[in-house]
Amino acid sequence: MAYLRTKFLSKDEEDVVHGESLRCLREVGVRIQSPGVLAMVEKAGGEVDRKREVGRISEGMVQDALRKAPKRIRYCARDPGHDFVIPTENVPFTATNGLAVHIADLETGEDHSSTKEDLAAFSRLADALDPIDYLWTSLTATDAPERAQGVHNLWVTLQNTVKHVESITVTDREDARVQVALASLVAGSPEALRKRPLISVVVCPIAPLSFARGPVEAQVEFAKAGVPVLSMSMSLGGMSSPVTLAGTLTNINAENLASLVIDQVAAPGSPHVYTSDSTPVDMRTGYIDYSAPETPLIAAGAAQMARRYGLPCMVSGWGSCTGALPGLPAFSELAAMALSVSSGTDLSAGMGGLDLAKGCSYEQMIIDAYLWEDYRAFLRAFAVNRETAAVDVMASVGHGNTFLRHMHTARNFKKELFFRDPKKLAWEATLSDRMVPEARAIARDLLRDHEVPRLEPDILRQGDALIREYEKKTLVAP
C-alpha cells in the first residue's frame, strides 16, 4: 500500500541517533529518584549510583526490553466499536487536548478555571464527534482537591464517553492504584482491564534524562496492571535538550529507551508507546513552540526511531490553535502541524486546545475536528499493483479518449477520490474567526442532543466511594 509519510533521517543518521542514545544511557545514565525503581534497574543489570540517584543502562538491557515489549497494542473502549489497534499504516488516531486549566463558557464566553462540570461537557462533546477516536483527560478538575485531581479527571471522563480514555494527570503510586481500580470497575475486574485496557496513561520524564519519584512509581503500577504507558519525552531544544535537532532526537530516544527498560523490568510484556511532545524552545518566550519549522522534523525523526524498534508511537499532535482565542493560525504555522502529523505517528492529540494547551474551547474542538476530516484524506492508503495501474483499462479506452464514461471510473472514483465539503472549506481560512459562531452553534446542538450511556448505579457508587476514601488519605498525607 502507498501512503504519505514525511521522513527526516537517512538510515546512517538513524544509526547515529541509536548509537549515541545507547552511549548516553551507558555513560551518562538516567536519574531515577525512586529507591525502589532504582533497585529494580540494578537487579536487572544496571550500574547504580545511589548517592546521585543515577542508573546506567547497558545495550543488553535495552535489547532485552525491546524483545519483551509488544509490537501491537489494542486501545479498548467501553463500546468495543471504538476499539482500535496501533501501529497503523496510514491515518493516525487522534484525541482531545489535555491537562488544560481554563475554558470559556459556551453561552456567556466568560473564561474561567475548569471544573468537573466543564470536563463532563467537553468529554461528552468529544464523544459525539466522529473524527475524535479517543479522549485525553482534557480539563483539570480545579474544584477537586489538588492531590486527587487525577482520579477525578479520569472518573468524570470515563462517565462521559464510550471511547478509550488516556489519563494524563498522575502524581504517585497510590494515585495510579486508584485510577487502575476505577478503570477496573468499568471493565468488570482487574483481569478484564488487563485483557481490554479501557485506559492508557501519559507519564512524563523530566528532560533531560530524569524520572521523578512519584510519576515513575506510578508508571510501574500502570505497567503491572497491563495499562499502556506513554512515557512522553518533552525535550525543548536549547533548554532541556541540546539545541541541535540531532541532540534533541538523541535525548528523546534515550528517555524513551530508558522508560521502556523500566516498564519491562517491572512488568515484562507490558504495553508501551514510544512518545514525544518535543519542539525547539521559543527563544523569545521560553515556551514550547508547536508551530516552529523544526517541530515536524523532530516528529518525523522520532517516528523513524520508533519504527526502527518496532514500537507504536505518539510523536505529534493535532490541535490547530496555540493562541488564546478560537480560530486558525497563519498558513506556515498550520503547515508545521500538518507536516508533524504526517510523520508516521500512530497517535496524536490536541483537539480543542488553546493557549499552548493551557486552555480548551468547545468551538475550537469543532474547528479542529472539521479540519481533521479534510486533512486525514492526505494520509489514506492506496493500493499500487497491476490491477490499479489499469493498463487494460487504458487499452480499452484507447488513445486520446476519455475515461469518464468507462465503468472502471464509475466503480472506483468514490474509493480513490476525496470530496471536500464546500461549506466547511470556508472554515479553513487562516487568521480568521468567522467560523467561530457556527462552531459554537454546532457545539450547543451536540451537547443538547448527544447522550452517553450511563455506567451502572452500583459501579458509580463504588467509584465515588473509592475516590472519597482516597481523598481522606491524601488530606492527611504529609
The confidence score (pLDDT) of residue 205 equals 96
**Does residue 305 lie in a domain region?**
yes
Residue 478 has pLDDT above 80, yes or no: no
**Predicted confidence band of residue 476 (pLDDT cuts 50, 70, 90):** low
Task: Give the residue-averaged pLDDT of 309-315.
Answer: 98
Task: Establish if 433 belongs to a structural domain.
Answer: no
What pLDDT is attached to residue 225?
98
In a domain, 464, yes or no: no
**Same structural domain for residues 118 and 187?**
yes
At which of 364, 398, 416 does a domain end?
416
| Average confidence (pLDDT) over 80-98 | 96
Is pLDDT above 90 for 149? yes
pLDDT of 434 over the 60 cut: yes
Q: How confident is the model at residue 145 (pLDDT cuts 50, 70, 90)?
A: very high
Q: What CATH code is carried by the domain that includes residue 186?
A: 3.20.20.480
Q: Residue 421: pLDDT above 70?
A: yes
Percent of the chain's residues with pLDDT above 90: 90
Q: Is residue 37 part of a domain?
A: no
Same domain, 308 and 274: yes
Which tens digit of pLDDT belongs to each residue from 257-283? 999 999 999 999 999 999 999 999 999
Q: What is the pLDDT of residue 320?
A: 84
110-138 confidence digits (pLDDT tens): 999 999 999 999 999 999 999 999 999 99
Give the pLDDT band (50/70/90) at residue 217: very high
Q: Are residues 118 and 91 in the same domain?
A: yes
Asked whether residue 300 falls in the same domain as residue 398, the answer is: no
Please choose, from the candidates 296, 295, 315, the residue with its C-alpha nearest in 3D space to the C-alpha of residue 305: 315
Q: What is the pLDDT of residue 465?
A: 98
Check whether residue 207 and residue 314 sit in a common domain.
yes
**pLDDT exceeds 60 at position 397:** yes
pLDDT band at 377 (very low <50, low <70, confident <90, very high): very high
Percent of the chain with pLDDT over 70: 99
pLDDT band at 238 (very low <50, low <70, confident <90, very high): very high
Domain boundary at 379, 405, 428, which? 379
Domain presence at residue 77? yes
Same domain, 290 and 360: yes
Q: Are residues 185 and 264 in the same domain?
A: yes
Q: Give the torsion through C-alpha atoms of 5, 205, 74, 22, to 10 deg.
A: 60
In the predicted model, what is the mean pLDDT of residues 151-171?
97
Task: Answer yes or no: is 350 within a domain.
Answer: yes
pLDDT of residue 424: 80
How far apart CA 267 and CA 100 sit, in angstroms, is 31
State yes or no: pLDDT of 430 exceeds 80. Answer: no
Name the residue with higher pLDDT: 210 or 89: 210
The whole domain housing 283 covers: 67-379
Examine the domain organization and report whether 266 and 365 are in the same domain.
Answer: yes
Domain edge (last residue) among 334, 361, 379? 379
Residue 236 and residue 118 in one domain: yes
Asked if residue 477 has pLDDT above 70, the reply is: no
| Residue whose C-alpha cell is 475548569 | 114
Whether 288 and 409 share a structural domain: no
Q: Is residue 93 part of a domain?
A: yes
What is the pLDDT at residue 433?
81
Task: Give the chain as a 3 state SS string.
Answer: CECCCCCCCCHHHHHHHHHHHHHHHHHHCEEECCHHHHHHHHHCCCEEECCCCEEECCHHHHHHHHHHCCCCEEECCCCHHHCEEECCCCCCEEEECCCECEEECCCCCCEEECCHHHHHHHHHHHHHCCCCCEEECCECCCCCCHHHHHHHHHHHHHHCCCCEEEECCCCCHHHHHHHHHHHHHHHCCHHHHHHCCCEEEECCCECCCEECHHHHHHHHHHHHHCCCEEEEECCEECCCECCCHHHHHHHHHHHHHHHHHHHHHHCCCCCEEEEECCEEECCCCCCECCCCCCHHHHHHHHHHHHHHHCCCEECCCCCCCCCCCCCCCCHHHHHHHHHHHCCCCCEEEEECEEHHHCEECHHHHHHHHHHHHHHHHHHCCECCCHHHHCHHHHHHHCCCCCCCCCHHHHHHHHHHCCCCCHHHHHHHCCCCCCCHHHHHHHHHHHHHHCCCCCCCHHHHHHHHHHHHHHHHHHHHCC
pLDDT of residue 329: 86
With bands split at pLDDT 50, 70 and 90, how would you rate the model's confidence at 428? Answer: confident
In a domain, 152, yes or no: yes
Mean pLDDT computed over 137-165: 97
Alpha carbons within 13 angstroms on the beta-carbon side of residue 65 total 28
* Cell representation of residue 402: 476519455
Pair 236, 277 in one domain = yes
- Nearest CA to 144 out of 131, 134, 136, 155 is that of 155
Least confident of 75-89, 141-155, 200-214, 422-436: 422-436
To the nearest 10°, the Cα dihedral for 99, 101, 103, 105?
A: 120
CA gyration radius, the chain: 23
Count of domains in the chain? 2
Peptide bond into 35 cis (omega under 30): no
pLDDT, residue 401, reads 95
214: number of Cβ within 10 Å: 18
Q: 399 and 269: one domain? A: no
Residue 448, Cβ density class (10 Å: 0-12 exposed, 13-18 middle, ≥19 buried): exposed
